[in-house]
Structure 1
């Protein structure tokens, strides 16, 4: 009987800890002891003890100014094995749907195979005239939006090798000029192909990062050139970047403050 009561008590403690952790949400990432106590139905002293233990393990961290708590990087270590096995295509799919709805254009997911950008998911525009490609299409043009993003985040030596061996088609652009362009892409976090690979196409791509902060894919919006003016391009850039950030967050990436 004593063993049973002890087991029940232990289970209750675990449930309380999980209830406390569930109080931290995307909408409310920073929460105080009082708010947590009200949500989970525990005394504030009990919540404080749980948070103190979690803070020691870096699962939560306390903001020194507000004295409230947020989730800590220790949680990433715990969730790492799960996050590492998440299928980026599965995670990205509903967000690509939101991207298509926001822009009205085709939303695409691309991955990098070491020398080419490969499309692995595509949600076509609902417009009668749209820009689409065959699933699994490969791109090696240096002016392709996704290739720009991947190369901007590639190991510098590997990038130099790809350019030196002409594995990436620069379409007449000088290597020095192209490397400067990649630096610009790296700084702003997205790339634009405004009719450069094809006079009929506009592409905007933004990188997707996993829980390790490593680039694993690109979200891209593709559209017919004639439909995209300056205002439309700005909106597509914003929406594509937002979609990439959302997918990154779902994969466990923590945005810098």
Structure 2
């Protein structure tokens, strides 16, 4: 009986820790212990367990904790809405803070992509990404991602698009798509807009279906090919977490 009470008390304390984040985004060990009037050693053990289970993430530099992706996985089941623009916004903000560039979320609509959500960079010189903008599928990192992982009929429709520009070689385009599928991400430099560059990755839902593309974009003199390759991994990791939130 005493063991059962101890286990219940541990669960209550773990839940109390999570509830601390209802009004704060980042908290340290001392802050949490003070709020809950618990010993630091007790809080430290509970934090370690919550971190191992993915409910919390610890910043190695600041030693502070924030909510982990498991929380967003659970929250995805609270509503019947599968709107990625709403569900994925917190993860997009985290990615923006990590790479320091504008983050955009795109979905395919026919032979176009639509920006359905964006988180602007905090840098003085940045690329502004208006929500609702439509762009063709034959140029841009996100466009190539949405085509590379789409059904064969989508690719054929894009290749046969009457608006296909003469400046783009179809064979070279197909080779790019193969490379994207091999490496898991796409890049673009001034393909659609002078002075702009982007790197994008696909988002697959829990059933393995392509639902969107996530991209970081900025000035091409800052978002160099080397920098885009550096950003590719955190973007792909964010895309993977985002996919776990989608049905």
TM-score range, shorter chain: 0.5 to 0.7
Q: Cα deviation per residue 1:47-76 (whole Å; 9 max; x = unaligned)?
A: xxxxxxxxxxxxxxxxxxxxxxxxxxxxxx
Q: Counterpart in 2 of 1:48? A: none
Distance 1:113 1:83 in 2: 24
How many pairs were matched up?
A: 183
Q: Counterpart in 2 of 1:96? A: 92
Q: CA deviation at 1:110?
A: 0.9
| 1:13-32 correspondence to structure 2 within 5 Å | 27-28=52-53
Q: Secondary structure at the match of 2:212?
A: strand
| 1:191-230 correspondence to structure 2 within 5 Å | 191-230=186-225
In the alignment, which of 127, 130, 152 is matched to residue 131 of structure 1? 127
Q: Cα deviation per residue 1:75-123 (whole Å; 9 max; x = unaligned)?
A: xxxxx98787432122210110011101111011111112111001111
TM-score (norm 2): 0.65
Question: Relative to 1, partners in 2 of residues 1:241 and 1:172: Cα closer, same or farther, differing over 3 Å?
Answer: same
Q: Secondary structure at the match of 1:143?
A: coil
Show structure 1 runs of 5+ residues with no match: 1-18, 30-79, 253-257
RMSD of equivalent CA atoms: 2.9
Question: Relative to 1, partners in 2 of residues 1:84 and 1:218: Cα closer, same or farther, differing over 3 Å?
Answer: farther
Show structure 2 runs of 5+ residues with no match: 1-10, 12-48, 55-75
- Tell me whether 133-142 or 81-90 shows the greater mean CA deviation: 81-90
Distance 1:171 1:189 in 2: 27
Q: Counterpart in 2 of 1:232? A: 227
Question: Relative to 1, partners in 2 of residues 1:164 and 1:123: Cα closer, same or farther, differing over 3 Å?
Answer: same
Matched, 1:181 2:176: yes
Q: Secondary structure at the match of 2:88?
A: helix
Distance 2:195 2:218 in 1: 8
- Are 2:120 and 2:129, in contact at CA under 8 Å, matched by a contact in 1? no
Distance 1:179 1:143 in 2: 12
